[in-house]
Structure 1
Amino acid sequence: MYLLRIALPDQPGTLGVVASALGAAGADILAVDVVSRAADGTAIDDFVVELPLGGRADSLVSACLAVSGVRVLWLSRYAAGGNLRHDLEAVEAMTEQPAEAERLLVRHAPVVFRADWALLVSRDRDTGRVVVPHATPAAPDLPGDEAPWLPLDRPVRLEIPAGWEDRGWRHVTAATTPLGSRHRALVIGRSGGPEILGSELARLAHLAGLSQTVLRTLGPEPDPVPDD
């Protein structure tokens, strides 16, 4: 399976032409997501496709470039496979188990955002100690138990510290958003790319906010504060 990200004219019929070209190249299209639309009339779409045994990945690129106005931004193997989960489905999973909303958010975020891993990082405001309450199996460790992007006020693309490159963070494209407070954050990462777009940052922040809403409104009641 492959993840193919393309830029194409945002006009009727173009997506169908691209899909037909990929089909003619032998690709089985498993999913299509509109990632963003720009004011210049360009859309960015993600295709998850499967090639038959012996199929060549470069045939996907050639098929797309044969369509007028189409550019291929990224092509890579797609480790998450065909079990796709979109934003709404992730929210539904959290509402079914509201007490586990944050754990489920971390679990599903890589598939929602076509990423390789996700983690939740938290810093104690008194001691400065950093912990990772939840992480997917492929998530790298935090070197030195540090999270230099905290405290965090808004979703951002991460600049990976140079000293981290030999510790599991080489060629990582990552983004983070606050989760409940400035001292807690959801982080997603892709090995090599593609670049995390502004529309994806907005979705990441929105989904993180929804997890907190689910936790507050549907989760267990907090322990009562004892009287003095």
Structure 2
Amino acid sequence: MAFLLRVALTDVPGSLGALATALGGAGADIEAIEIVERRADGRVIDDVLLELPPQVMPDALVTACHGLEGVEVQWVSRYTAGANLSMDLEAVERFTEDPARAIDLLVEVVPATFRTDWAMALQRDENGAMIYAASPTAPHLVPAADQWLDLPGRQTLQPAPEWDSTVLAAAPGSTRGLGPFVVIVGRHGGPEFLASEVARLGHMVSLAASVQAPRSAEGAGGR
């Protein structure tokens, strides 16, 4: 069973090795570790993708981490996006393969790349916001979506009551063929989006917009 563990720890030699040893002692099989953010206070935020045998509860991971000095567990949950962490460059390669579908492919790769539950790209039509492209588990639109079309830049968003406890981040973009759009991503229950994650999302949206080629009207999405 795959789990994603987000931890904050002191960025000193040996700290990551001690964490890996503690998690291994709790029964975890570590698949990948990715640095999410380095902070000015000398701490680092890491995402750890790991497998747990059915008889081991995720609480064992928290207990193992709490036994280490300076380690703080920020998040632990089931991870259903696959057995590895997608790197940003791999995501970029994916949506540059087909410039006519760059925004669609960006939305497709964002959930695994940023460990979100869903992603969608919104555009404006005569009735307000419309979904241009969405991942399979994306929810239906909510009234707040009309306001998101005018975001001045990448940012986190206030939770939408209709989407329960989902935390949100967004990044606007614009292409010559498609015009303005905004990518919205959501995580059910957290963790909150870090500033570095929002910045990465903004860069990736800009890259996808720069390679997006015009496509015919009958090929466009929306729902």
Output the TM-score relative to the length of structure 1: 0.87
Which letter does structure 2 place at the counterpart of 1:190? R
Following superposition of structure 1 onto structure 2, how do residues 88-127 of structure 1 map, counting pairs within 5 Å?
88-124=89-125, 127=126
Matched residue, 1:136: 135
Provide the C-alpha distance between the structure 2 equivalents of 1:214 and 1:173, rounded to a whole number of angstroms: 29
> 1:64–1:72: 8 Å Cα contact kept in structure 2?
yes
1:207 equivalent among 204, 210, 215: 204
What runs of 5+ residues in structure 1 fail to find an aligned partner?
Answer: 223-228
Following superposition of structure 1 onto structure 2, how do residues 170-189 of structure 1 map, counting pairs within 5 Å?
170-180=164-174, 183-189=180-186
Q: Bigger shift: 199-208 or 21-30?
A: 21-30
Which letter does structure 1 place at the counterpart of 2:76? L
Q: Bigger shift: 191-200 or 53-62?
A: 53-62
Matched residue, 2:31: 30
Distance 1:171 1:143, change over 3 A: same
How big is the alpha-carbon RMSD for the aligned residues of Structure 1 and Structure 2?
1.9
Matched residue, 2:221: none
Provide the C-alpha distance between the structure 2 equivalents of 1:43 and 1:65, rounded to a whole number of angstroms: 16
Provide the C-alpha distance between the structure 2 equivalents of 1:201 and 1:128, rounded to a whole number of angstroms: 28
> 1:131–1:145: 8 Å Cα contact kept in structure 2?
no
Provide the secondary structure at the position in 1 that maps to 2:147: coil
Q: Which has the larger radius of gyration?
A: 1
Query: How many angstroms does 1:161 deviate by?
Result: 3.8
Which letter does structure 2 place at the counterpart of 1:90? A
Query: How many angstroms does 1:100 deviate by?
Result: 1.2
What runs of 5+ residues in structure 2 fail to find an aligned partner?
Answer: 217-223
Query: How many angstroms does 1:143 deviate by?
Result: 2.5
Provide the secondary structure at the position in 2 that maps to 1:36: strand
Q: Write out per-residue CA displacement over residues 44-63 of structure 1, whole angstroms, 9 at most, x where no aligned residue.
A: 10011110121111111111
Matched residue, 2:220: none
- Calculate percent identity across the aligned residue pairs: 46
Provide the secondary structure at the position in 1 that maps to 2:13: coil
Which letter does structure 1 place at the counterpart of 2:199? A
Provide the C-alpha distance between the structure 2 equivalents of 1:205 and 1:185, rounded to a whole number of angstroms: 10
Following superposition of structure 1 onto structure 2, how do residues 10-159 of structure 1 map, counting pairs within 5 Å?
10-124=11-125, 127=126, 129-144=128-143, 146-159=145-158
> 2:148–2:182: 8 Å Cα contact kept in structure 1?
no
Provide the secondary structure at the position in 2 that maps to 1:173: strand
Provide the secondary structure at the position in 1 that maps to 2:81: coil
> 2:151–2:172: 8 Å Cα contact kept in structure 1?
yes
